[in-house]
Amino acid sequence: MTRLHVARAAACALTVGALAFTAAVGFASGSTRVQASEHTVFPETQLSAPPASAVPEAPSLPAREMAFPALSVRPAYTVYVPEGPDVPRPAVMVLHGMGGSGPGIATQLLSQARDRNWIVIAPTVPYGDWRDPNQLTGEELRLLPQLSTLIDYVRDEAGVKVAGKVMLFGFSRGAQAALRFSMLYPERVGAVAALSAGTYTVPVRWMLTASGPAQAPMPFGVFDIEQRAGRGIDALQMTGIRYWIGVGAGDNREGDVPRQWDQFLGKTRVERATRFGAVLSQLGCETYVSIVPNAGHEIVPAMMDQITGFLGTSVERAQMHAEAGVAALPRPARGV
């Protein structure tokens, strides 16, 4: 895994112009547990403090798996809750690829999630043609608000308490959706692990191509995102999100990805992941790119080890900030 730096020539060759940086990222402050007082005995005099009420422990509940059918405002989903007290816990939303399902990709993470006390939210999405830029844009503009609504439904419909911001793990088509969701709703996201995405939306309005600077509309960039989505990109809040961009070293066949993105990010998943990660780093996001050896377009144990380690570190950082009662400050943005 390699930490990308601003000076990467790949990012400099891709991006022209900068976004306005307007907000800061915060975490909820933690709680303090109250303990009962004890009597203190002084020489010749015993002073009894008023009895203090001990804070009762929240009852422990068995592990739960709850499935909900699709509604017009959100996709179908299954939520997995580990055994333990009914208290807020970190949550990971997992997004499957073409032809997959929420429960299917959830199996990649459930064992680690139980060990780490994470909730897993697994929507099932009926994706369309991701190779057609127009269809992809329309689908994402419908899907991303539904995923935001889904986070609220996990609390209000399933009765599951989520601590702080969600983490995202997506594979292939799901990785594309995870990254675009983090750009459109950065206030809801703490970290993104995106594996084997075939297309990317770069969070800039203009890009440098072989023909010179060019507007980058959806789904290539965000030139027209305010008009199309009704909300813009808050690049400063994005710098508070940690990113892991992964791809198998063997996942590099040009025929596996649509050609319309070539002029912006390259011709293969490996090349596109590397260049997209460089852009995120240049914009000030804490970004890691991993080209995993001996892997193709698949999920292998070595990938999941990196992903769970990355998400675990993200949770630990968020909890440290919450317990300290301070906000996690966005990283300084770099102009492009």
The answer to whether position 330 is within a domain reads: no
pLDDT of 331 reads 53
Confidence of residue 60 (pLDDT cuts 50, 70, 90): confident
pLDDT category, 46, cuts 50, 70, 90? very low
pLDDT at residue 152 is higher than 80: yes
Q: Which is nearest to 93 in space by CA: 105, 83, 111? A: 105
Tokens, residue 240: 């508070």
Residue 188 lies in a domain: yes
Each residue's pLDDT tens digit, 89-148: 999 999 999 999 999 999 999 999 999 999 999 999 999 999 999 999 999 999 999 999
Whole-number average pLDDT of the chain: 85
The secondary structure of residue 89, as a DSSP letter, is B
Confirm whether 285 is domain-assigned. Answer: yes
List pLDDT tens digits, range 227-256. 999 999 999 999 999 999 999 999 999 999
The residue among 330 and 27 whose pLDDT is bigger is 330
Residue that the structure tokens 């070293």 belong to: 249
With respect to residue 13, please indicate whether it lies within any of the assigned structural domains: yes
At 222 the pLDDT is 96
Beta bridge partners of 167: 92, 191
The closest of 222, 334, 214, 228 to 264, measured between CA atoms, is 214
Q: Are 14 and 278 in contact (CB under 8 A)?
A: yes
Sequence-distant contacts of 224-228: CB under 8 A, at least 24 apart? 225/184, 228/137, 228/141
Per-residue pLDDT band at 35 (split at 50, 70, 90) = very low
pTM of the model: 0.81
3-state helix, strand, coil in the chain (%, to 5): 35, 20, 45
Q: Which of 2, 18, 16 is nearest to 274 (CA)?
A: 2
Strand segments, DSSP code E, in 196-283 are 206-209, 212-215, 242-248
Q: pLDDT tens for residues 153-183?
A: 999 999 999 999 999 999 999 999 999 999 9
In-domain check, residue 218: yes
Tell me if 175 sits within 8 A of 127, measured CB to CB.
no
Q: Which CATH number belongs to the domain containing residue 246 in this structure?
A: 3.40.50.1820
**What residue type is 172 in one-letter code?**
S
User: Does residue 192 sit within a domain?
Assistant: yes
Q: Residue 212: its pLDDT value, please?
A: 87
What SS3 state is found at 193?
strand
Helix axis angle, 173-184 to 133-156, nearest 10°:
70
Determine the structural domain holding residue 10 and report its residue range: 2-23+60-324
The verdict on residue 11 lying in a domain is yes
What is the C-alpha separation between 314 and 308, in angstroms, rounded? 10
Q: What angle do CA 174, 176, 179 make, to 5 degrees?
A: 110
Task: Pick from 7-11, 23-27, 97-101 the range whose average pLDDT is largest.
Answer: 97-101
Tell me if 41 is assigned to some domain: no
Residue 71 · residue 156 · CB < 8 Å: no
Question: In total, how many domains does the chain have?
Answer: 1
55: pLDDT strictly greater than 60: no
